[in-house]
Structure 1
Amino acid sequence: MSLTVQFSEYGSTDVLSVVDVPPPTPGPGQVRLAVRAAGVNPIDWKILRGYMSQVMPLDLPAGLGSDVAGVVDQVGEGVTAFEVGDEVLGASITPSYAQSALADPAVLVAKPASVPWEVAGSLAGPGITAWEVLNKLEIAKGETLLVHAAAGGVGTFAVQLAVARGARVIGTASESNHEQLRSLGAEPVTYGAGLVDRVRAIAPQGVDAVLDASGRGEIPDSIELAGGPARVLTLVAFDAADTGIQVHMSAPGESGAQALRDILNLMEKGRLRVPLWRTFPLAEAANALQVSQAGHLGGKIVLLPA
């Protein structure tokens, strides 16, 4: 049997329970992982509360999480990329808030021995998303990128990936996170009223592109600073699609493995780091989600099921 976090109705973390279920069996082209770490992301509590039910309908009871790192303990028919005993990281296709999860080998990569489990389990969701949106925005060397919620999960990766491309990065965040952003290579500004003036004070000509991972209503300011909507992209402000900006929402595809390889390569060179805030055991998944929803953490939250 295998422990997993489930909910039978949408709601607060009070509807969560940890149940003992038979471990999943990998089908053709799948592997099963003994989960060592599972990243906690804001989309998880949004799914739990039903905020995503229109675009991501679930058959209840359901689980949470897709960021995963673990050890392959069963291999489905036709899989040649990995074998039992391999340590891997990436995205799962069954909930990762569990002791056992299934994954598609195409969205997994080998875990380097130098990367701790808690870091490995936090890379896929925010890392792949940041990698994909920088490609969509076509961020190039010498350009200036504005990142809203730059100290958050996706923002932290986006800042470092853009800096690695040779871009200048301006990041919005609360004052308490400004020093962290500077350490990652960004120039911090405080979000809120007067944002345009604060950005223009350090970038008089505006910016080349904007990544909105915040959703606090910055889209009009972003369009003004970027000189139009074409290179403004949001991960959260779905109601702003009619402004002409780009709206990004996708699950990790085959490009996910390449994104993870690029991220691991930068980590090996000391050019990208993953701030961690706290780890929780699987039994405290509710507490982890409450902390995630509160925000302003300055680092990743990770569950350790084993």
Structure 2
Amino acid sequence: MHAITQTTFGGPEVLHHSEIDRPVPGAGEVLVRVRAAGVNPVDAATRAGHFPLFPAPPRILGWDVAGVVEALGPEVDEFEVGAEVLGLLRFPGEAGTYAEYVAAPADQLVVKPAALPMPQAGALPLSGLTAWQALVQIAQLEAGQRLLVHAAAGGVGHLAVQIAKSRGAYVIGTARAVHNEFLRDLGVDEVIDYSTTDFATATDPVDVVLDLVGGDYATRSLPLLKPGGLLVTTVGHNTGLTPEAAEQHGIRFETVFVQPAAEALAALTALAADGALRLHVEREFPLADAARAHESTGNAKGKTVLIP
């Protein structure tokens, strides 16, 4: 089969289009013919060696997958050959979804709704689960609460604002002015252009901040949080804040580290099937152009996917 391999850390040029053996599903696994694989910031960080959690290459990148079940391994009875599925596989271990086929743990897959196109399905799992685990499981966001999402137009951000709206929250997003209409169309109540406006003084206090940027964004957000409020970050390597400092300001501070979760992913796909969650795929690249996909993902709106 064709796959994207890397043998050393580096820039996008270290990604190579290769031919390797097709995997064989083991116990509890299914063989999935990949129809779409999401490209995420963690992919680029791992490729470059900026994510110390992951060992050195060789490897095949990728954790997001949507595709068709081609074969069943032993002890699998929840899927049939021909089923269309999606999932976040093995994270943070190696999954290798930048390929034509992948052996996937069956318990990390869910059935793809017919209304969800393959590119969108392949881009949903990691970003969608990150937003869900931050807002639903950690923040337990409720109707009427006020949420601020930094980088609201990005892969995680544009899903987070829709999950929040589905729960009845009032949503404020920071983004460049060019994304104003996009975010308004997703239901965002206020859009703050971070390049021209100090978001810390641009809106009323909020119950929850979702920080998808890192650096000084966490500390700059502190004045906006209500007493007892919560700041959730996805940027574990550069949070700009500690739980102790947050406690001194009278707020809570949590870091979300996404995990495969079929039940939560099923809830996300149900929202998508009902039209309450629209996944925006900004760019699609053939699998052989994975290096070009990595070059084009900085500050992108929505998601980028590879199509084998």
Query: Normalising to structure 2: TM-score of the pair?
Result: 0.90
Conserved? CA contact 1:238–1:247, under 8 Å: no
Conserved? CA contact 2:133–2:258, under 8 Å: no
Between the aligned partners of 2:294 and 2:116, the Cα distance in structure 1 is: 24
- Residue 222 of structure 1 corresponds to which residue in structure 2? 221
Between the aligned partners of 2:54 and 2:236, the Cα distance in structure 1 is: 16
Structure 1 position 72 matched with structure 2 position 76: no
- Residue 153 of structure 1 corresponds to which residue in structure 2? 155
213-222 or 279-288, which deviates more: 213-222
Conserved? CA contact 2:129–2:258, under 8 Å: no
Between the aligned partners of 1:228 and 1:45, the Cα distance in structure 2 is: 37
Between the aligned partners of 1:27 and 1:46, the Cα distance in structure 2 is: 29
CA displacement 1:209-237 (0-9 Å, x = unmatched)? 10001125211122221146861011115
How far off is 1:141 after superposition?
A: 0.7
Between the aligned partners of 2:2 and 2:289, the Cα distance in structure 1 is: 13
Please tell me the residue identity of whatever aligns with 1:112.
P
* Residue correspondence of structure 1 range 69-218 to structure 2 within 5 A: 69-93=66-90, 94-134=95-135, 135-186=137-188, 187-192=190-195, 194-199=198-203, 203=204, 206-218=205-217
Unaligned runs of 5+ residues in structure 1 are none
- Residue 13 of structure 2 corresponds to which residue in structure 1? 14
Between the aligned partners of 2:150 and 2:160, the Cα distance in structure 1 is: 10
Same amino acid, percent of matched pairs = 40
Between the aligned partners of 1:233 and 1:154, the Cα distance in structure 2 is: 13
CA displacement 1:128-160 (0-9 Å, x = unmatched)? 111110120121111000000011111111100
- Residue 287 of structure 1 corresponds to which residue in structure 2? 292
SS at match of 1:166: coil
CA displacement 1:28-80 (0-9 Å, x = unmatched)? 1111111011011111111111110x22224x211111110011112111111
How far off is 1:269 after superposition?
A: 2.1
Count residues in correspondence. 292
SS at match of 2:152: coil
How far off is 1:277 after superposition?
A: 0.7
90-99 or 33-42, which deviates more: 90-99
Query: Normalising to structure 1: TM-score of the pair?
Result: 0.91
Conserved? CA contact 2:129–2:259, under 8 Å: no
- Residue 249 of structure 2 corresponds to which residue in structure 1? none
Conserved? CA contact 1:223–1:229, under 8 Å: no
Q: Write out the 4+ residue segments of structure 1 that deviate beyond 6 Å after TM superposition.
A: none
Between the aligned partners of 2:258 and 2:104, the Cα distance in structure 1 is: 17
2:255 corresponds, among 231, 247, 271, to 247
Conserved? CA contact 2:219–2:241, under 8 Å: no
CA displacement 1:57-105 (0-9 Å, x = unmatched)? 24x2111111100111121111111122111111234211100112112
CA RMSD in angstroms comes to 1.6
Conserved? CA contact 1:8–1:15, under 8 Å: yes
Between the aligned partners of 1:237 and 1:185, the Cα distance in structure 2 is: 28
Unaligned runs of 5+ residues in structure 2 are 247-252
How far off is 1:14 after superposition?
A: 1.1
For residues 70 and 137 of structure 1, do their structure 2 counterparts lie closer, same or farther at Cα, with a shift above 3 Å needed? same
Please tell me the residue identity of whatever aligns with 2:117.
P
